């Protein structure tokens, strides 16, 4: 099976071995502080959306033809770049892939042959768009904007483009690193909300969850072609209607599973799980994968809470054995709640395996689904053992285990199985992308949840590990973790740029896992605390249509 390399990577990199122990737990009991679910499922199931009707897709196709004429009618290179940027930000890239490709290639040719002086803003915008669309763009394109002594353009548009483009850097591009630092300084001088901006650059955000904001901005500014804006609104509503249909299916599944009544210690976050899944793959055609991912994410939350909060060390050791053997008999002596967790995981993975085989063909993928769950649970067991022994690992040891406990490899396998039945073998570069995106997930999670987890008495996070290891303050530790996140993005960009076009189409969804980690944990614990920014995002993206 194509995915053997990917599912085995967690096993090969996780070398710590655990031995069963019957020692009495030495740490105090941890208590769940999670609030009950806020969503009214009956209300969500009752949502109706007129944009699911076929006539709206027909209307969108007609608008697409009208908007497509804008490419031929736009002759200025700067205007062409702005058109492509607008199409991307309004969520319409899939409609105009061919037009965008032809236009960017013409602009590349123009840049090679033109002897006219460069427009600084246009150059910065062109650099970002070329890299975003997979074209080679040397950092030397920007050397005229920066003389090595901190001299950067001070206008806001150019500084913003330089800042955003610098986050598409790969490891070793020192010029882009310098540009990132000095463009940040310029933006600060312009009194922008730099702290929010620098922690949330465009390259780290989920594009689909920015679309509505860009539509509203375009409406208010009145500087966007009316046909383009009309298509963007219609497309958003059509895709949202598809998401609502998928969400209803996931809610019905969750109700049928009927396990939360017996699991008072855990998080009921099926809506947030689906929100996360949409961020990974928002396109209308990926409905099956979205539903698989939403189910998996909710199960990840439950099982994580079993290891972190509910289970004794002996419980989670036995639970890990049961997962490894994939045998319900192995949990018969454990608390009823843990038996229910195992049953839900076992049955759901069996069902997903059957669905994947029916849709994609080929042999059963169940052995590979089981293996990534084994790797995940073993990583959670390492952390539980650290906690119960009162051990704070080094940051290196923590991350060696933590990239797997992040659930990144687990999610990535479901993404890949949901997108292709091709014999990939997942080349080494793909494995590296999974590793670095998983690191980002782990570290973003820690940045958003460490304070609450420390109060609750959970295992040490990367922040606590570094504070303990280096005897530094929390602020210093957080700054160090941020540097690792930045470096992991540079590594991810490097390996992504080396992939073939077909592999990029798959792995961009894996990278979206890391982007969703930024979304969920930018302002705290987006899973633990529902009635904050996450709730607002769910409402505007999944519930409320654009009028």
Domain harbouring 74, CATH code: 1.50.10.130
* Whether residues 213 and 361 fall in one domain: no
DSSP 174-223: HHHHHHHHHHHHHHHHTT--HHHHHTS-GGGS-THHHHHHHHHHHHHHT-
* Whether residues 75 and 218 fall in one domain: yes
47 in a structural domain: no
By three-state DSSP, how is residue 169 classified?
coil
Domain around 490: 258-543
Burial category of 492 from C-beta neighbours within 10 Å (exposed 0-12, middle 13-18, buried 19 and up): buried
Distance CA 267, CA 36 (A): 7
* Whether residues 424 and 297 fall in one domain: yes
Helix axes 287-305, 226-257, angle to 10 degrees: 50
What is the chain's pLDDT, residue by residue, as a tens digit (547 residues)? 334 344 444 444 443 334 333 333 445 455 566 788 899 999 999 999 999 999 999 999 999 999 999 999 988 999 999 999 999 999 999 999 999 999 999 999 888 777 555 688 899 999 999 999 999 999 999 887 765 555 555 688 888 999 999 999 998 899 999 999 888 888 888 766 666 676 789 999 999 999 999 999 998 887 889 999 999 999 999 999 999 999 999 999 999 998 888 888 888 999 999 999 999 999 999 999 999 999 999 999 999 999 988 999 999 999 999 999 999 999 999 999 999 999 999 999 999 999 999 998 888 899 999 999 999 999 999 999 999 999 999 999 999 999 999 999 999 999 998 887 764 465 456 899 999 999 999 999 999 887 666 665 566 799 999 999 999 999 999 999 999 999 999 999 999 998 888 889 999 999 999 999 999 998 888 887 777 889 999 999 999 999 8
71 in a structural domain: yes
* Whether residues 268 and 137 fall in one domain: no
Helix (H) or strand (E) holding 167: none
* Whether residues 221 and 262 fall in one domain: no
Which of 226, 248, 275 delimits the end of a domain?
A: 226
Helix (H) or strand (E) holding 224: none
119 in a structural domain: yes
* Whether residues 274 and 184 fall in one domain: no
Identify which of 2, 11, 1 has the alpha carbon closest to the alpha carbon of residue 372: 11
CA 35 to chain centre: 24
> Which tokens sit at 312?
């004794």
Residue with tokens 């995981």: 345
* Whether residues 169 and 305 fall in one domain: no
Q: N- to C-terminal Cα distance for the chain?
A: 47
Distance CA 412, CA 7 (A): 9
Helix axes 97-113, 120-132, angle to 10 degrees: 130
30 in a structural domain: no
239 in a structural domain: no
* Whether residues 448 and 493 fall in one domain: yes
> Which tokens sit at 115?
């002897």
* Whether residues 173 and 287 fall in one domain: no
45 in a structural domain: no
Q: Are 138 and 128 in contact (CB under 8 A)?
A: no
* Whether residues 180 and 134 fall in one domain: yes
Number of domains in the chain: 2
């Amino acid at each position: 099976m194509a995915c053997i390399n990917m599912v085995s990577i967690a096993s090969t990199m996780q070398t710590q071995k655990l031995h069963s122990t019957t020692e009495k737990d030495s740490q105090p009991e941890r208590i769940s502080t999670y609030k009950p679910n806020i969503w009214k499922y009956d209300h969500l199931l009752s949502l109706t959306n007129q944009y699911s009707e076929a006539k709206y897709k027909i209307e969108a196709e007609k608008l697409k033809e009208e908007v497509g004429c804008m490419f031929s009618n736009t002759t200025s290179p700067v205007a062409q770049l702005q058109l492509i940027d607008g199409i991307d930000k309004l969520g319409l890239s899939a409609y105009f892939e061919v037009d965008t490709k032809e236009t960017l290639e013409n602009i590349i040719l123009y840049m090679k042959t033109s002897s006219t002086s460069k427009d600084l803003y246009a150059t910065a915008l062109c650099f970002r768009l070329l890299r975003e669309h997979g074209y080679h763009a040397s950092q030397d394109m920007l050397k005229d904007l920066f003389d090595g002594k901190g001299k950067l353009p001070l206008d806001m548009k150019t500084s913003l483009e330089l800042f955003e483009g610098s986050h598409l850097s790969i490891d070793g591009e020192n010029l882009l690193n310098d540009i990132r630092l000095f463009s940040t300084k310029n933006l600060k001088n312009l009194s922008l909300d730099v702290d929010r901006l620098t922690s949330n650059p465009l390259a780290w955000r989920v594009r689909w969850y920015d679309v509505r904001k860009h539509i509203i901005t375009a409406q208010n500014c009145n500087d966007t072609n009316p046909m383009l804006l009309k298509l963007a609104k219609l497309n958003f509503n059509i895709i949202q209607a598809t998401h609502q249909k998928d969400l209803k299916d996931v809610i019905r599944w969750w109700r049928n599973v009927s396990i939360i009544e017996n699991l008072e210690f855990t998080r009921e976050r099926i809506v947030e799980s689906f929100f996360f899944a949409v961020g990974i793959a928002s396109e209308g055609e990926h409905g099956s994968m979205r539903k698989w991912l939403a189910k998996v994410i909710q199960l990840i939350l439950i099982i994580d809470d079993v290891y972190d909060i509910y289970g004794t060390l002996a419980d989670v050791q036995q639970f890990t054995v049961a997962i490894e053997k994939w045998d319900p008999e192995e949990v018969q002596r454990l608390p009823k709640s843990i038996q229910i967790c195992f049953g839900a995981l076992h049955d759901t993975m069996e069902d997903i395996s059957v669905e994947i085989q029916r849709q994609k063909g080929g042999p059963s993928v169940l052995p590979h689904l089981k293996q990534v769950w084994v790797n995940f649970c073993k990583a959670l067991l390492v952390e539980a053992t650290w906690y119960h022994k009162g051990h704070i690992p080094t940051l290196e040891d923590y991350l060696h285990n933590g990239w797997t406990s992040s659930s990144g490899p687990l999610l990535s396998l479901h993404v890949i199985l949901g997108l292709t039945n091709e014999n990939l073998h997942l080349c080494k570069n793909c494995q590296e992308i999974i590793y670095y995106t998983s690191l980002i997930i782990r570290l973003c999670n820690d940045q958003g949840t460490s304070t609450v987890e420390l109060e609750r008495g959970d295992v040490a996070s990367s922040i606590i590990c570094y504070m303990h290891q280096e005897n530094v303050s929390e602020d210093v530790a957080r700054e160090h973790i941020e540097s690792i996140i930045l470096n992991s993005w540079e590594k991810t960009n490097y390996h992504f740029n080396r992939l073939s076009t077909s592999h990029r189409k798959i792995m961009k969804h894996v990278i979206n896992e890391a982007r969703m980690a930024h979304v969920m944990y930018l302002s705290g614990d987006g899973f633990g605390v529902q009635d904050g920014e996450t709730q607002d995002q769910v409402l505007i993206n999944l519930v409320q249509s654009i009028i």
